[in-house]
A and B are shown apart, each in its own frame.
Chain A
Amino acid sequence: DNLCICFQYTFWNFVPKNLFEQFRRIANFYFLIIFLVQLIIDTPTSPVTSGLPLLFVITVTAIKQGYEDWLRHKADNAMNQCPVHFIQHGKLVRKQSRKLRVGDIVMVKEDETFPCDLIFLSSSRGDGTCFVTTASLDGESSHKTYYAVQDTKAFHNEQEIDALHATIECEQPQPDLYKFVGRINVYHDRNEPTARPLGSENLLLRGATLKNTEKIFGVAIYTGMETKMALNYQAKSQKRSAVEKSMNVFLIVYLCILISKALINTVLKYVWQSEPFRDEPWYNQKTEPERKRNLFLRAFTDFLAFMVLFNYIIPVSMYVTVEMQKFLGSYFLTWDEEMFDEDTGEGPLVNTSDLNEELGQIEYVFTDKTGTLTENNMEFVECCIEGHIYVPHVICNGQILHDCTGIDMIDSSPGGSGKEREELFFRALCLCHTVQVKDDDSVDGLKKNHLSRGSCIYISSSPDEVALVEGIQRLGYTYLRLKDNFMEILNRENNIEKFELLEVLSFDSVRRRMSVIVKSSTGDIFMFCKGADSSIFPRVKEGKIDQIRSRVERNAVEGLRTLCVAYKKLTAEEYSNAQKLLQNAKLALQDREKKLAEVYEKIERDFILLGATAVEDRLQEKAADTIEALQKAGIKVWVLTGDKMETAAATCYACKLFRRNTQILELTTKKIEEQSLHDVLFDLSKTVLRHSGSLTRDTFSGLSTDMQDYGLIIDGAALSLIMKPRQDGSSGNYRELFLEICRNCSAVLCCRMAPLQKAQIVKLIKLSKEHPITLAIGDGANDVSMILEAHVGIGIIGKEGRQAARNSDYAIPKFKHLKKMLLVHGHFYYVRISELVQYFFYKNVCFIFPQFLYQFFCGFSQQ
């Protein structure tokens, strides 16, 4: 079934299990023993003195944990009982999510989250596709297209779906989000079944959300704890802070002191008593049973009695006090005015107060990118046409204030030809994309204002494109829709221009560009191309390349994502040639990809450069400031993201994780394909180590000003290569080498990470030689495993749901709050807790040592 379990205790096993958990703590167990000893033998202090505090501690902790678990129960119930539509005997039935079984056919409506892993059978869209956002799984908020199984995509209503007779074979559940292998056998009227392969494009994952598709039907294949999302979770284990660990070490030292004290006293007692007039002077006789008792038994009970007498050297009250201090101290965090977010009306949340002081000792910060560092919406910032720079007047969160649609002309107003180019540029941006338009049904207040301008929601697999189209809309050109292969544009004069879309040379990450071929209403055929600067500039034969290039470089340095736009005019002849080539390539059965790439290569050349755009993935407020402060404080910041490398790198530049003088080392799949992993790693380590070698020399000679810092970029595939144990057992070598490189880099960016890989990285660092204290911060469900793995997990109370905040140790509204949290609160907490603990030990030594000395004056009688 589809039951999802996050809680630790049930009603029945709470008491025994909780007691067991608590007595696993050294201190609790110790006090229990002392208590039992006091009960059994005659001791100087009554059992109540240690029994009561122990009872208090245990009860308070149990109540606290019980309450926490109760909250978890509630959350689980909410999740398990949310209604799901599924199909039984041709009818739509609503049931609780937990009653879902493998093989049930589920209907999911738009904006609903998939309740379990589904094989996509059919959708309300005619072509058997649906759009899904996996933001809570891997942090990518863009829409992804999934495909229904060929044979079933025709079924559109409940009855048809119910008539389907098929079996699905699939692999055992495994955590990799991007891999799935299976097979569906569809039986048609007792014929031989038709078998279809199933891949990850057919698999809708639990936690993902259906977008832009009215409804879909799917069959559940993995449910409950077997879903890929659940497998990517890690069991929540109790986190202990380093102070607590060192406290435990101290306790052991003190235990040794205690035992040795008791031993010394016992021995001395019997030495002292060896003279009978001391053992039993006339005024102080023993009773008969006392006299008869076995010497060793007597010595042992004496030893235990001394233990009990001195047991206060291990402070029972310390645990209560420390816990109370932490608990009350954590309120300072929630009370902090500067950490209160006005927009959301939320302050920080403290889920575990056990880790307060860890905040002051963080050495590594692992942060998610999307939603954590960035606001997760793209913003069109500026464009540069022929060297003239245009800035949309108002920068606001994707919302256009309709009265500010003007643009600033920074340079002198362009001449007649410039005007022409400018319009061409805007048209190019309007046309050269794969954006889909969704009519805005749910009009909210803000959007109503500019309904007149044709308000609509753009949806695309790339948020950049949306940002660009929206930006252009602000500059006066609105892309209306794609209708019967005609793209409609509303231009500045409110006229609708129509372009016939002839070809789309779609984007891929190798070419890093895309093109469209359109035919205008006047019959001219244009080819517009948009892509990364590096892939456009070599293909340009005219245009103001130098000016644009300098602008593009400037923008890139500022962390903006730049795209260049170019065009060429095709004659009908050229177009038919190109079309023929394309057609051939598309029909090729073998090496289609390769052939297409060749054709693209041939067609996309001799462009005329129009301009460049700059899009900003808006950073969270003060993100750069925070990262800078953290780095100055000696904390290493790593960015772990599921995003593309280019995007991630741009963000890193923007938030000053990488600086202008940072030398970037790349450890990516592409590079590993060129060289072997071995060589790459060794090359990198050589660079880094040479640098660090020279660094030490530099610091000696006081010339550390020109010191260079390194940034490392690694992607998921490369990481898994490094982590993969090899047959010859040299994997440890790789890991260590990798760690060595990482340690010498001031910043590391890991992209294309699966949630579990994020946790792996954290674990790798956590278990490295120095045992640094790590902190993970993220906002989405994809960060949960990393948050759980790190010493301290921080969740951002963000848009992508509260999963991260719920599983974290602390939750804060914004990334910028991390600065004060670590540098002020963490520091305070650490100083305070250390002083408290040290004072406790000092106090107890002061308290017990006179006791010890007094034994010399009272005949070692445990008085």
Chain B
Amino acid sequence: MAVNYSAKEEADGHPSGGVGVPGGGAGGGGGGAGKTRKPDNTAFKQQRLPAWQPILTAGTVLPAFFIIGLIFIPIGIGIFVTSNNIREYEIDYTGTEPSSPCNKCLNVSWDSTPPCTCTINFTLEHSFESNVFMYYGLSNFYQNHRRYVKSRDDSQLNGDNSSLHNPSKECEPYRTNEDKPIAPCGAIANSMFNDTLELYRIDNDTRTPITLIKKGIAWWTDKNVKFRNPTGDGNNLTALFQGTTKPINWPKPVYMLDSEPDNNGFINEDFIVWMRTAALPTFRKLYRLIERKNNLQPTLQAGKYSLDIAYNYPVHSFDGRKRMILSTISWMGGKNPFLGIAYITVGSICFFLGVVLLIIHHKYGNRNTSADIPN
């Protein structure tokens, strides 16, 4: 009987194993090698590659919370402080309020000559230590509208001569004027910002102009790669742009944007900055740079200043606003208190949750410590 039983066992195979998933555990050791069709015993093919699946226990979650909290709070504080050290000053010169000096210019049109000018005086409470960036800001201006964004011809801007005289269809209805192709064509170029801003420091009733640098405000790639003047015989832009006409709203053609040849035509930096469309209807664009002259003086001292505006750009018709912004920058860009606050908030929440969970764990966690899987 005994023999019979063991024989049966042998025939029936090995004692039954567990039902559980073996998880690709110890693979059966090889066997007869040399058969070509036998699959390779590699970790990948047998699905034995190491894998890690975190199991959430108090032991792993609590430290994670604390660590996140402890890392995030200092980062947040650092960013917040940096952001607060950035000086920023903003003036709205739209002139919607009757008291504003620019109120008289509110309803200017494009080609009013002489341009309506206004002057706004302001006082800087703190001095601006490092280089100052001067921006203009527009609100409610949908530079991101699809019809608007498309309305340009990149190959024309890249100096392609055939596109210069035959701009892309996308530029409609700013493609031709009086049967002449517009250069640069399209709605974006046509609506280029054309207010002139000048900054004066008022020191004992004397107005000293502050040097505004207009070069170096565009991206290097835009200036050197994406935007190029048309090529041809000679460097005379007027001749090169022969046969084209200026955009409808522009007072002067594109080859008269600036006197310097390396900042004229399509590679005018103000133009390049404008052509890089903003993503949101409220945006600011870099206008000028104010460089620090020497290490002894701040770039802009605290004190009185005045802003002279040649008011050409109408925004009232679409409820827009115009602003002038003076700002310094730090390693993390412009003034942005949000990021620091976000870091601090998340860090605090994690820390707080960590504390709460720790208390809970201490009070109730001992009941089933055996269920905790040590990790």
Contacts and interface: CB of A to CB of B under 8 A. Distances in A.
A284 B145 contact: yes
Interface stretch (B20-28, B87-95, B121-129): B20-28
A588 B9 CA distance: 52
Nearest to A288: B173
A160 interface: no
A345 interface: yes
From B4, B38, B173, B319, name the one whose CB has the most chain A CB atoms within 10 angstroms: B4
A281 B144 contact: no
Interface in B294-326: 314, 317-319
A761 B190 CA distance: 76
Contact of B319 (A277, A619, A628, A858): A277
B200 interface: no
Given A277-B319, A625-B14, A558 B8 contact: yes
Contacts of A629: 16-17, 19
Contact of A338 (B7, B28, B35): B28
A858 B46 contact: no
Interface stretch (A5-13, A328-336, A730-738): A328-336
Interface string B39-61: 11100011100000000000000
A277 B281 CA distance: 14
A284 B16 contact: no
Given A277-B317, A629-B19, A858-B142, A285 B187 contact: yes
A146 interface: no
A277 B315 CA distance: 11
- A281, A340, A408: which has the most chain B beta carbons within 10 Å? A281
A621 B11 CA distance: 8
Interface string A615-636: 0101101101100110011000
Interface stretch (A213-221, A522-530, A599-607, A822-830): A822-830
A858 B31 contact: no
Interface in A110-163: none
A537 B173 CA distance: 107
Nearest to A332: B47
Contacts of A332: 45, 47
Given A287-B172, A345-B35, A827-B21, A336 B46 contact: yes
B145 A282 contact: no
B7 A284 contact: no
From A391, A629, A857, A858, name the one whose CB has the most chain B CB atoms within 10 angstroms.
Answer: A858
B148 A283 contact: yes
A90 interface: no
A628 B12 contact: no
Which of B14, B35, B45, B141 counts the most chain A CB atoms within 10 A? Answer: B45
B46 A281 contact: no
Contacts of B31: 342
Interface residues of A, number: 53
A619 B147 contact: no
Nearest to A621: B13
B1 interface: yes
B173 A285 contact: yes
Nearest to A856: B281
Nearest to B281: A857
A861 B146 contact: yes
A861 B28 contact: no
A337 interface: yes
Contacts of B14: 622, 625
Q: Which of B12, B21, B27 has the most CB of A within 10 A?
A: B12
A747 B41 CA distance: 37
Contacts of B4: 382, 389, 391, 410
A340 B38 contact: yes
B28 A633 contact: no
A863 B141 CA distance: 15
A623 to B, nearest CB: 8
Given A287-B172, A629-B19, A862-B146, A282 B27 contact: no
A382 B19 CA distance: 32
A625 to B, nearest CB: 4
B187 A335 contact: no
B149 to A, nearest CB: 6
Contact of B190 (A277, A283, A331, A389): A283
Interface in A813-835: 816, 820, 823-824, 827-828
B16 A823 contact: no
Contacts of A288: 173
A395 interface: yes
B59 to A, nearest CB: 25
A338 B46 CA distance: 9
B32 interface: yes
Contacts of A616: 11
A337 B149 contact: no
A766 B185 CA distance: 67
A828 B22 CA distance: 11
B190 A858 contact: no
A827 B14 CA distance: 24
Contacts of B149: 863
A121 B208 CA distance: 125
Given A395-B11, A622-B13, A281 B28 contact: no
B202 to A, nearest CB: 35
B37 A282 contact: no
Contacts of A679: none
Contacts of A448: none
B318 A287 contact: no
A422 B253 CA distance: 124
Interface in A307-361: 331-332, 334-338, 340, 342, 345-347
B264 interface: no
Contact of A281 (B19, B23, B318): B318
A334 B47 CA distance: 12
B146 A858 contact: yes
Contacts of A621: 13
B3 interface: yes
A287 B39 contact: no
B13 A335 contact: no
Contact of A857 (B22, B24, B144): B144
A642 B47 CA distance: 39
A278 B320 CA distance: 11
B231 to A, nearest CB: 30
Contacts of B119: none
B263 to A, nearest CB: 24
Contacts of A618: 11
A44 interface: yes
16 contacts: A282-B191, A283-B187, A287-B173, A331-B45, A342-B32, A342-B35, A391-B3, A395-B10, A408-B3, A410-B3, A621-B13, A624-B12, A625-B14, A633-B19, A824-B23, A863-B145
Interface of A: 44, 277-278, 281-288, 331-332, 334-338, 340, 342, 345-347, 382, 389, 391, 395, 408, 410, 558, 616, 618-619, 621-622, 624-625, 628-629, 632-633, 816, 820, 823-824, 827-828, 857-859, 861-863
Given A340-B39, A625-B13, A858-B142, 18 more contacts: A277-B318, A285-B174, A287-B173, A288-B173, A335-B46, A336-B46, A342-B31, A389-B4, A395-B7, A410-B1, A625-B16, A629-B16, A632-B19, A816-B13, A824-B22, A827-B21, A857-B281, A862-B146
- Kindly list the 4 A-B residue pairs having the minimum CB-CB distance in the complex, ordered from nearest: A283-B191, A861-B146, A335-B45, A863-B146
Interface of B: 1, 3-4, 7-8, 10-14, 16-17, 19, 21-24, 27-28, 31-32, 35, 37-41, 45-47, 141-142, 144-149, 151, 172-174, 187, 190-191, 279-281, 314, 317-319
